[in-house]
Amino acid sequence: MVDSADAQSFLKTLAEKIAETPTQPMLTTGIRDAYRAAVDALVQHGAKVVASGSGTDPARPTLLSAPASALLKDLALAEECFGPGSCVFVADNTQQMLDVTAKLGGQLTATVWATDGDLAANPELVPAISKKVGRVVFNSVPTGVLVCDSMQHGGPFPASTDARFTSVGTAAFDRFVRPVCYQGMPVALQPLEIRDENPLGIMRVVNGVRTRSAVDNDSSKRQRTS
C-alpha cells in the first residue's frame, strides 16, 4: 500500500488485532516448522516484526512490514509464507506499487482492497495485477473456489505450469483431453457422445447452443452450411 497517515493508522490497528489473536495448532510439526522458518527468512532479508501472537509457539500469528523499495531490491521478500503470517510493504507512491507488481512472480490470486475512488485514481493497477494472477478478487479473501464455468484456479508460472488451464471449474476438463474432430464420420463408427440422437442424454454444444436434445439432422445441416 502507498504510505500515508491512513496507511499507518491501518497498520497500527492491524498490529493490535494480530497481537490479540491466539495461536492455533497447525496440521503437522513439519508445516509448523516450515512456517516459522519462512518468517525467520523474511526477517533475515530485512522485514521487521510489527506484531505477533502471544506465547512462544512457533505457529503464532506474525505481522511483518518492509519498505516496497526493499522488495524491489530483494525478491526473497516476496517468497510465500504458508501460515498465519503477513508482510505489509509500504510504497512511496503509486508508481512504486506498480513497479512491485511488475516484479512479482505468478500467483493463483490477488486481492485488491480499495474503494471506488481508489480504483478510479489508480486505473493502471488492476490491469497490471491481472498479468500476474489467474483470479483477481476485490475486497474479499481469496477463498470460495466455486466449481462453475467462470472459475480460473491457475495462474502464470510458478503458480501453475500452464496458465491457459484451470484446476477447478468446468474448463478443468481441458487439462485432460486432446480435441479430435470427426467430419462426415459414418454413424456406425461415431462415439455415442456425438451421435445425433444423443443416446446418453448428456449436455452438448450444438451449433453454439448448450442442449441435451437430439440433433435434427436436416435443420442442423442447413444451419452449418448457411
Q: Rounded distance, CA 97 to CA 115, Å? A: 17
Contacts of 125 (CB under 8 A, 6+ apart): 94, 97, 98, 101, 112, 119
Measured in degrees and rounded to the nearest 5, phi and psi for residue 79 equal: -65, 145
Q: CA-to-CA distance for 144 and 21, rounded, in angstroms?
A: 23
**Final residue belonging to a domain, choices 58, 75, 104:** 104
Number of Cβ atoms within 10 Å of the Cβ of 103 = 14
The answer to the question of residue 157 being in a domain is: no
100 and 10 share one domain: yes
For residue 23, being part of any structural domain is answered with yes
Q: Which CATH number do you get for residue 75?
A: 3.40.309.10
Last residue of a domain, one of 104, 134, 154: 104
Instruction: Kindly tell me if the per-residue pLDDT of 225 is higher than 50.
Output: no
| Structural domain count, the chain | 2
Tell me: the pLDDT tens digits for 81-120? 999 999 999 999 999 999 999 999 999 999 999 999 999 9
Q: What is the pLDDT of residue 155?
A: 94
Under the banding of pLDDT at 50, 70 and 90, the label for residue 34 is very high
Instruction: Average the pLDDT over 26-55 and give the result.
Output: 94
Residue at 125 is within a domain: no
Q: What is the pLDDT of residue 226?
A: 32
Q: What is the mean pLDDT of the chain?
A: 92
The answer to the question of residue 10 being in a domain is yes
Average pLDDT, integer, range 182-210: 94
For 149-173, how does the pLDDT look when each residue is reduced to its tens digit (9 = 90+)?
899 999 999 999 999 999 999 899 9
- pLDDT at residue 183 above 50? yes
- pLDDT recorded at residue 223: 53
The answer, yes or no, to whether residue 213 has pLDDT greater than 90, is yes
Q: Which residues of 31-59 are buried (b: 16+ CB within 10 A; e: fewer)?
A: ebebbbebbeebeebebeebbbbeeeebb
Residue at 82 is within a domain = yes
Query: How confident is the model at residue 216, as a pLDDT?
Result: 85
Average pLDDT score over residue span 109-132: 94
Nearest to 149 by CA among 203, 199, 109, 191: 203
- Global confidence as pTM: 0.78
Q: Which of 80, 104, 128 is the last residue before a domain boundary?
A: 104
Q: Is the pLDDT of residue 7 over 90?
A: yes
Q: Does residue 80 lie within any of the structural domains?
A: yes
| Rounded average pLDDT over 60-74 | 96
Over residues 116-126, the mean pLDDT reads: 94
Does residue 200 form part of some domain? yes
Grid cell digits, residue 189: 463408427
177 located within any domain: no
Domain that holds residue 211: 185-225
Q: Which amino acid is at 22?
A: P
CA atoms within 13 A on the CB side of 157: 2
Per-residue pLDDT at 222 exceeds 90: no
Q: Which three cell numbers stand for residue 40?
A: 525467520
Those residues with Cβ within 8 angstroms of residue 207's Cβ, 6 or more apart along the chain or in another chain: 220, 223, 224
